[in-house]
Amino acid sequence: MQDNNKTIQAYEDHIQEYDSGTPTSVDGAFKAWLDKILALLPAGAHILELGSGMGRDAAYMEAKGFDVLVSDAPKVFVEHLKKHFKKAQQLNALTDELGGPYHLVFANAVFLHFTVHEFSNILDKISGSLQPSGILAFSDKVSERSGWSTAKVGAPRFFQYWQAGPLTKLLTQKGFYVLDMKGIESMRDGQPKWLHVISRKA
């Protein structure tokens, strides 16, 4: 059993390390994926971003004319977000209601911090927060294991890794139809490092 509060605290205590280790621009394969997601939405669509961090992706979506509610669980991120966005709130996907209805729920490198059981429950919440045929898009890391890591921020964070097959199965069980699931390769070894997922509420 993992303690998600421990992961949240790692971000609370190490925002500078997180910020310095995170790309500041939306480009490459990530930009192509994000543009593909946004192309599915009506103009001015309502978006909930879970785990907005420093707000990079939300700023890109807002610049495209979308109505974005930015959110994160660590208070330190929310304080930063409130300085740059009109709509920002502290939100823990495990314990808080998500509101809505939204056209899109977007989460980049967020769900990897939840166990399979926790993620399953969060998917139920997301389904209830989306409009009919709404979009859920997110990224997860690829591996066959899970556990704690101090990489990047220097404090322990929990990681649940995924393979495409089990992830597709879970999404289908939870009432989502996978529109696209692409493995993004690592520059070092050419093996998939991330899964970029676009799904639609059935």
Domains of the chain as residue ranges with CATH: 4-201 (3.40.50.150)
How far from 18 is each of 10, 11, 44, 48, CA to CA, in Å? 10, 7, 31, 22
DSSP state of 134: E
Position 189 scores a pLDDT of 52
Position 192 scores a pLDDT of 57
Position 199 scores a pLDDT of 98
- How sure is the predictor about 102, in pLDDT bands with cuts at 50, 70 and 90? very high
d(CA 4, CA 19): 20
* Strand partners for 59: none
pTM of the model: 0.94
- How sure is the predictor about 170, in pLDDT bands with cuts at 50, 70 and 90? very high
Stretch 63-83: mean pLDDT, rounded? 97
Within a 10 A sphere around the Cβ of 95, how many other Cβ atoms? 9
